[in-house]
Amino acid sequence: MTIPRIPLAPWKRGPLLAALALLLGLVMALHARIPNVGGFGSLVENLLPWCGVCVPVLLAGAVWRRSASAVVALVLPVTVWVSLFGGLLLTDRSHPGGDITAVSHNVGAGNSDPDGTARELAASGAELLALEELTDQARGAYEKGLATAYPYHVVRGTVGLWSKLPLSDTRAVDVVRGDAGPLARTKPPESAAEAADGVRALRTTVATAHGPLAVYVVHLGSVRVMPRHGFWTDSRDFGARALTRAVTAERNKRMVLLGDLNGTTDDRAFHGLTSQLTSAQKTAGKGFGFTWPAAFPVARIDQILVRGVRARSAWVLPATGSDHLPVAARISW
């Protein structure tokens, strides 16, 4: 009996492709262990879902090279990606019902149509409407455009909350780093909103039919990819730590955090927050819910996080005049 020989040539071809496939799988599986030198670990985690785009590219290369080893090696990144994100794409985690709808939107300091943005947000019917990156010039437009639908509102610095329910015990939350670091030495503030008075977060209490609800509205510091400093996140990370301390000290067991965190919840900078709060999108949405930039969203940096209440559904609203998309969630007790 003659044992057929298995041709070895397809297994010897494409060793570089096979190595890249294995490296891709390891990067996704072990992303939390990537050293954060120059912010590289944070950058990878913010772009983690897009690692899946590399799979068809490598597969095309493997087919072109007729490399069996590269095709087999691709099993690792495919398995890891599906385990991390398959559920987000294949499962609709939303449920009917809910007591309050909350919307958060970075309205954009460069928004040329604040009146139109106010009308679109009011049409959402949300009971709670959080706005970030408010400027002195546009604030009046939002106050006028939202006055009829929202009898209560509070503004601190560049963030505000408009509500159909009474508000009380409002105070600013300090999430601003005093020294802007290399960003201050390389360019002026990103907008008039960033330069306003240094207040980028507030905390207030909403009186609901089920009892008081603590609500935080936040706009954390910007991040930049800079030649000398890599993925620069110092200002944002400082704010994330300050915000975590505020949330930890919060006495109300029921709370909602709305805002532009300038990072995804996969980013290690937010582990302190996500250990105490849950993402509405991840628990009650469908898909990734990317929000920035509005023209072609690549990351969800606008968040609705909850504690002591449950997100029943979460979604992304249509574009306004901002470079961010608004996010919404239906919340229940």
Q: What is the DSSP letter of 138?
A: H
226-217-138 Cα angle (round to 5): 80
Q: Say which CATH superfamily domain 100-332 falls into.
A: Endonuclease/exonuclease/phosphatase (3.60.10.10)
Q: Return d(Cα 63, Cα 87) in angstroms, integer.
A: 28
Express each pLDDT in 128-185 by its tens digit.
999 999 999 999 999 999 999 999 999 999 999 999 999 999 999 999 976 555 544 4
Domain boundaries, the chain: 9-90, 100-332
Q: Return d(Cα 34, Cα 22) in angstroms, integer.
A: 15
Q: pLDDT of the chain along its 333 residues, tens only?
A: 555 555 556 677 789 999 999 999 999 999 999 999 999 999 999 999 999 999 999 999 999 989 999 999 999 999 999 999 998 888 899 999 999 999 999 999 999 999 999 999 999 999 999 999 999 999 999 999 999 999 999 999 999 999 999 999 999 999 997 655 554 444 434 444 444 458 999 999 999 999 999 999 999 999 998 877 789 999 999 999 999 999 999 999 999 999 999 999 999 999 999 999 999 999 999 999 999 999 999 999 999 999 999 999 999 999 999 999 999 999 999
Task: Look up the pTM and report it.
Answer: 0.91
Express each pLDDT in 223-234 by its tens digit.
998 877 789 999
Cβ atoms of residues 124 and 328 within 8 Å: yes
- CA-nearest of 209, 263, 206 to 231 is 263
Q: How far is CA 234 from CA 14, 17, 31, 243, 333, in A?
A: 41, 36, 20, 14, 36
Secondary structure element (H or E) that encloses residue 193, with its range: helix 192-195
Length of the chain in terms of residues written: 333
